[in-house]
Amino acid sequence: MTNAAVTTGATPALDGQAQKKTLRRIITRNWWLLFVNSYTKLEGTTFAHVMMPFLEDIYGKETDEFYDAMKRHSNFFNTTPMMNPFILALVVTMEYERKAALDAGKDFDDNSIESLKVALMGPFAGIGDSIAVGVLRILTTGIALGFSQQGLWLGPVLFLVVYNVPNLLIQWLMGTMGMKLGSGFVAEALESGMIASITKGLNVLGMLMVGAMTASFVGFSTSLVLDMGNGVTFDLQSVLNQIMPGILPLGLTLLCFAYLRKHNRPMLLMLILFVAAIALTALGVCG
């Protein structure tokens, strides 16, 4: 990336009220990022669509520079939508800087904009997936399930609220940081390993949440009690509890995970579990 493309703060063209307006547009436009995906470009086409009004403001409508920029932003792109406002804000500011540099008769490396997107989409996808899928979605699902199991309408409502409110706040925070910090901060974060550390920590937290949900919501126990004679009985569940409480739900979860990881057939797995539940109940193994 050339020096012309590295920014350590807000672009002069986006100071004050213009910066706030641009930030609002970045957040609302970002909601379209997953509207259309393709196997070849994933979010590339929609990223260009999201950028369209900003590029029209910078280069003018239906100008050669506008179409060149649209083509530049239609390449392969894939990251977590929650984190994308950070990348989007940096790209918008760099496009403003490109326009200012060219108007002043200076050179600007167009490849630096694409290089920034490629460099950030992977690390930010790791952080975003860890937050959205590994932590936030699991946490909200756990809260919603508790109410839903009681037949309360608060279950699905709380899921929507508790998941989407933090999601929107994170998008706003990412967009604000992207506008203020600039690509110089990102380069330092990537080189220092800070982003990798954050991703690893969130993955660990996500695994802890999965374990907590397994213990709370996966119900599997045995009612098998054998008469050993002379008034002595063998209670299999009591023995298993002495070995490790919750060993059956944990074992079932790990078996399901191993099956899905190898075959990825969730509907067939649900059918297997349904048939197994009926068979074990008929045999008296489960109550």
At 205, is the pLDDT very low, low, confident or very high (cuts 50, 70, 90)? low
Q: What mean pLDDT do residues 189-202 have?
A: 63
Sign of the dihedral through C-alpha 79, 27, 174, 141:
negative
Q: What is the pLDDT of residues 10-50, one digit of tens each?
A: 454 556 677 788 888 898 999 988 888 877 788 888 999 99
| Residue ending a domain, choose from 154, 180, 213 | 213
Q: Which two tokens stand for residue 49?
A: 């669509």
Band (202; pLDDT cuts 50, 70, 90): low
Q: What is the percentage of the chain residues whose pLDDT exceeds 90?
A: 8
Using the predicted structure, report yes or no on whether residue 253 has a pLDDT greater than 70.
Answer: yes
Which of 182, 213, 244 is where one domain is finished?
A: 213
- Single residue among 181, 213, 245 that ends a domain in this structure: 213
The secondary structure of the chain as a DSSP string is --GGG--SS--GGG-THHHHHHHHHHHHHHTTTTSS-BTTTBTHHHHHHHHHHHHHHHH-TT-HHHHHHHHHTTS-B---TTTHHHHHHHHHHHHHHHHHHHHTT----THHHHHHHHHHHHHHHHHHHIIIIIIIHHHHHHHHHHHHTTT-THHHHHHHHHHHHHHHHHHHHHHHHHHHH-HHHHHHHHHHTHHHHHHHHHHHHHHHHHHHHHHHH-------EEEEETTEEEEHHHHHHHH-TTHHHHHHHHHHHHHHHHH--HHHHHHHHHHHHHHHHHTTS--
pLDDT value of position 4: 40
Which tokens in the block code for residue 67? 């179409």
In a domain, 59, yes or no: yes
Residues 118 and 180 in one domain: yes
Residue pLDDT, tens place only, 88-102: 988 888 888 888 888
Query: Which amino acid does the sequence have at 63?
Result: T
Evaluate if residue 112 carries a pLDDT over 50. yes
Both 175 and 238 in one domain: the answer is: no
Q: What is the pLDDT of residue 209?
A: 64
| Residue 43 placed within a domain | yes
- Check: pTM over 0.85? Answer yes or no: no
What is the number of domains present in the chain? 2
Q: Which domain holds residue 235?
A: 220-282
The pLDDT, as a whole number, for residue 52 is 92
Range in 87-101, 112-126, 208-222, 235-249 the model is least confident about: 208-222
Would you place residue 51 in the very low, low, confident or very high pLDDT band (cuts 50, 70, 90)? Answer: very high
Say if residues 222 and 236 touch (Cβ distance below 8 Å): yes
* Residue 169 and residue 100 share a domain: yes
pLDDT at 139 over 50: yes
Q: So what's the pLDDT on residue 275?
A: 92
Higher pLDDT, 216 or 237: 237
pLDDT at 282 over 60: yes
Per-residue pLDDT band at 66 (split at 50, 70, 90): very high
* Mean per-residue pLDDT of the chain: 80
Q: CA 254, 258, 264, 267 torsion: positive or negative?
A: negative
- Lowest mean pLDDT: which of 60-69, 131-140, 187-196? 187-196
Pair (68, 46) in one structural domain: yes
d(CA 138, CA 133): 7
Residue 123 placed within a domain: yes
- Domain membership of residue 287 (yes or no) is no
